[in-house]
Amino acid sequence: MSTVAPRAGLTGTEVAALRSSAHGVLGANWREGVRHADGLPYAYTCPSTPRYRHQWHWDSCFHAIAWSHFDPARAEAELRTLLASGRPDGFLPHTVFWGAWAGWRRAPFYATARVLGSTHTETIDPPLLAVAWERAGPPGDAAALGQIAAHLDWLARERDPDGDGLLSVVLPDESGLDDSPKFDVVFGRYAHYKPSIVLLIEHCRRLGYSARRIAACGELHLEEVLVNVAYALSLHAMARMTGKDDWAVRAAATECALLERSLDPGTGLFLDLAGNAEVPVRLSTWSALAPLALPGIPEDVKRRLVEEHLLDPRRYRACVGIPSVSMEEPSFTPHFDRWRCWRGPSWVNTAWLLVPALRELGYEADAERIVTSLARAALREGFREYYDPRDGAGQAARGFAWSTLLVDLV
Ligand code: GLC
């Protein structure tokens, strides 16, 4: 096995072992073929079998970034499959069914146009495609950039009903953070892990999953921080890839809206805003720290997030990774919960988003501590869906593809 110069506090041998096993997981989860329903070719990495067989939007963005370290052609093919999954109006789905339909037991839980027979959901996922394309797509592909631009325009048109620069989600899993306790107070009996979620999905289905219609009826929608961080990061990526300033202006508008509306002066956290009244959701989960990744957030705001939250041992400074919920919250649950996720354990994509910001602000030792703890957990336990922040015990799905993002951090 070759040795690779380590970046984190890992040995060269550890980094090489991590890379080799990441490549193995990505390869084992690779799927390609032609969809029976419409003859469309596909090539993507499924998150983990047997549980997650389909293509998820933000997972694929992460997979492409990981693939770019091993096989740039596969990274590009995965992103092109995402582009092919959408509609000409710019909509790109949260989940796409390529090689298999959603099983009949799971089908009612997917936010599709019809309960059976749809090829994709009608909902969104954190919009990271432009970020992934900048890392793994051919930079000068005008047609692809046009499609990504259409997607970002669709989001602005359809998902920002009050035109304040912040996108709304209509279902909790559109944030990628399905069962986060921050949604409990907002969605109540319709929380993602409760059986009544199918009623909320059915209600959204009747309203065409349209945030504009949902907001016009005064119904529940949420300006969720992580989705907006992903959106602003993508707008910035478009500005760099196209050299056009209007993308940077749009990114700055979203960053300003986050600062003006979602930043809570008392705690320094960025809070989701619920409904037309934009009621702040007062709970500390890692998405409240996600604006650290944005270039337009002032340094003092970022340092407060780092020093008062991310590096506070009572809150987010854990033995392994970054907990998905502040350890101080009563809802913090570090152990495996069969029915609910994002309620405490550490995920690799969280570190992937926040660690570069820590490095940039000069907290190099903390950044390396976080990366090393997760990398050692992955070496010991395999690439798992998430890890116990107390001891790194691997939890939930095995061979979980986005956890290979660690190769991008070491
Ligand atoms: C879980 C995660 C979600 C992810 C999906 C597929 O539902 O909460 O973020 O996209 O699995 O991996």
- Closest residue by Cα to residue 309 from 328, 330, 336: 328
Ligand 1 pocket, residue 388 CB under 6 Å: no
For residue 219, report the distance from its CA to the centre of ligand 1, in Å: 25
- Residue 35's pLDDT is 95
CA distances from 150 to 143, 154, 155, 158 (A): 11, 6, 9, 12
Atom of ligand 1 nearest to the CA of 94: 10
For residue 179, report the distance from its CA to the centre of ligand 1, in Å: 10
| Cβ 296 vs Cβ 232: under 8 Å | yes
- According to CATH, the topology of domain 12-409 is Glycosyltransferase (1.50.10)
How does DSSP assign 351-369, residue by residue?
A: HHHHHHHHHHTT-HHHHHH
- Residue 81's pLDDT is 98
- Residue 2's pLDDT is 43
- Residue 295's pLDDT is 98
For the chain, 410 residues long, give each residue's pLDDT as a single digit of tens: 444 555 668 999 999 999 999 999 999 999 999 999 899 999 999 999 888 999 999 999 999 999 999 999 999 999 999 999 999 999 999 999 999 888 778 888 999 999 888 999 999 999 999 999 999 999 899 999 999 999 999 999 999 999 999 999 999 999 999 999 999 999 999 999 999 999 999 999 999 999 999 999 999 999 999 999 999 999 999 999 999 999 999 999 999 999 999 999 999 999 999 999 999 999 999 999 999 999 999 999 999 999 999 999 999 999 999 999 999 999 999 999 999 999 999 999 999 999 999 999 999 999 999 999 999 999 999 999 999 999 999 999 999 999 999 999 99
Inter-axis angle of helices 364-381 and 348-360, to 10 degrees? 160
CA distances from 252 to 68, 162, 237 (A): 29, 17, 12
**Could you tell which of 26, 46, 51, 59 is best to mutate to test the pocket of ligand 1, judged by most ligand atoms within 8 Å of the CB?**
59
What are the start-end ranges of the E strands in 153-255?
222-223
Pair of tokens at residue 256: 């300003």
d(C-alpha 376, C-alpha 382), whole Å? 9
Ligand 1 pocket, residue 176 CB under 6 Å: yes
For residue 176, report the distance from its CA to the centre of ligand 1, in Å: 6
Ligand 1 pocket, residue 223 CB under 6 Å: no
Ligand 1 pocket, residue 341 CB under 6 Å: yes
